[in-house]
């Protein structure tokens, strides 16, 4: 084992030597060995290492929390991923909202969306599906554009609408999963936390719908009926979607 000691003891910090032979200095500030010489600083790499370390720290802190607090944290995180952070998902849900005048088709679409993104979120969370974020993002933007186009061009929703929404939901779920994997899920209570995160996402989504419903019912009751709001709102949503689409492709 001598080799080990020697390797460890090759250099000593200059500062430590400068200090060590004088009266009433603090005892050796640094024991054992440290390599001297110049260091080069690669800022990008330092930042990447910092991000990876931060994720490890979050996971350590989460793992140490009591079960109930962890569940709370993940519901909250899921919710916050919709409000205020998930403008893309908000617009998609609003797109659905503006598409239908009646409660029933709206509920069907929202349910299809929820079901679909829960499936992919859980599949990706379990590591059964692996897709790059850069691949999913343009499709999410495209889904927003598509819904907006449909809302603007067709008076009535098509029969295939629910299926299309379901497909888009699968994509959005992958988007949630990507975000979740960046934060990291503690290994213990993995499934329940994944579920809690999903519940948070649903709450956020319901909150958006509820708010939209109240606003529409109280403020725009008349113009709503005539579709005056539906078209311009959908165009705005479509523009935002196009902007993101462009951004994610460049």
Residues forming the site for other proteins (CB under 8 A): 1-6, 8-36, 38-42, 45-46, 49-50, 52-54, 56-58, 60-62, 64, 73-74, 76-81, 85, 183
Q: What is the DSSP string of 189-246?
A: THHHHHHHHHHHHHHHHHHHHHHHHHHHHHT-HHHHHHTTTHHHHHHHHHHHHHHHHH
CB of 226 to other proteins, least distance (A): 39
Of the two residues 17 and 154, which places its CB atom closer to other proteins in the complex? 17
Torsion angle of alpha carbons 186, 192, 196, 199, nearest 10°?
Answer: 150
Q: Which does 13 bind (CB under 5 to 8 A by kind): other proteins, Zn ion, none?
A: other proteins
Of the two residues 34 and 48, which places its CB atom closer to Zn ion in the complex? 34
Q: What track of x and - describes contact with Zn ion for positions 29 through 58 (by CB under 5 A)?
A: ---x--------------------------
Region binding Zn ion by CB under 5 A among candidate stretches 24-32, 94-102, 110-118, 231-239: 24-32
User: How distant, in Å, are the alpha carbons of 15, 44, 109 from that of 93?
Assistant: 61, 37, 10
Of the two residues 11 and 154, which places its CB atom closer to other proteins in the complex? 11
Q: Which does 30 bind (CB under 5 to 8 A by kind): other proteins, Zn ion, none?
A: other proteins
CB of 53 to other proteins, least distance (A): 4
CB of 29 to Zn ion, least distance (A): 14
Which residues contact residue 8 at a Cβ distance below 8 angstroms, ignoring those fewer than 6 apart?
32, 33
Of the two residues 39 and 153, which places its CB atom closer to other proteins in the complex? 39
CB of 24 to Zn ion, least distance (A): 24
Of the two residues 21 and 32, which places its CB atom closer to Zn ion in the complex? 32
Tokens (6 digits) for 194: 């994944």
Q: Which does 160 bind (CB under 5 to 8 A by kind): Zn ion, other proteins, none?
A: none
Tokens (6 digits) for 39: 């260091």
Report the length, in residues, of the chain: 250
Helix (H) or strand (E) holding 132: none
Q: Does 4 bind Zn ion (CB under 5 A)?
A: no
Which position has the token pair 């098509």?
A: 158
Of the two residues 29 and 214, which places its CB atom closer to other proteins in the complex? 29
Which residues contact residue 197 at a Cβ distance below 8 angstroms, ignoring those fewer than 6 apart?
74, 75, 77, 78, 121, 176, 180
The 10 Å Cβ neighbour count of residue 194 is 21
**How would you class 234 by CB atoms within 10 Å of its CB: exposed for 0-12, middle for 13-18, buried for 19 or more?**
buried
Of the two residues 32 and 132, which places its CB atom closer to Zn ion in the complex? 32
Q: Of all residues in this chain, which one has the CB nearest to Zn ion in the complex?
A: 32
Would you tell me which residues interact with Zn ion (CB under 5 A)? 32
């Amino acid at each position: 084992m001598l080799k080990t000691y020697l390797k460890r003891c090759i250099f000593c910090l200059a500062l430590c030597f400068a200090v060590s032979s004088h009266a009433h200095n603090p005892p050796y500030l640094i024991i054992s060995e440290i390599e001297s010489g110049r260091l080069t600083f690669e800022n990008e790499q330092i930042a990447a290492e910092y991000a990876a370390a931060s994720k490890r720290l979050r996971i350590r802190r989460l793992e140490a929390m009591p079960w109930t607090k962890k569940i709370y944290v993940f519901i909250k995180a899921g919710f916050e991923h919709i409000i205020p952070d998930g403008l893309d998902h908000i617009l998609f849900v609003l797109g659905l909202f503006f598409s239908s005048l009646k409660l029933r088709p709206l509920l069907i679409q929202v349910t299809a969306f929820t079901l679909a993104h829960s499936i992919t979120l859980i599949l990706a969370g379990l590591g059964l599906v692996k897709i790059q974020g850069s691949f999913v993002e343009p499709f999410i933007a495209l889904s927003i554009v598509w819904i907006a186009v449909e809302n603007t061009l067709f008076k009535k929703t098509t029969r295939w609408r629910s299926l299309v929404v379901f497909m888009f939901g699968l994509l959005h779920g992958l988007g949630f999963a990507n975000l979740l994997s960046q934060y990291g899920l503690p290994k213990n209570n993995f499934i329940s936390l994944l579920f809690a995160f999903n519940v948070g996402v649903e709450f956020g989504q319901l909150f958006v719908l509820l708010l939209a419903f109240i606003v529409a019912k109280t403020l725009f009751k008349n113009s709503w009926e005539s579709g005056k709001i539906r078209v311009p709102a959908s165009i705005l949503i479509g523009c935002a979607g196009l902007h993101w689409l462009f951004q994610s492709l460049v």
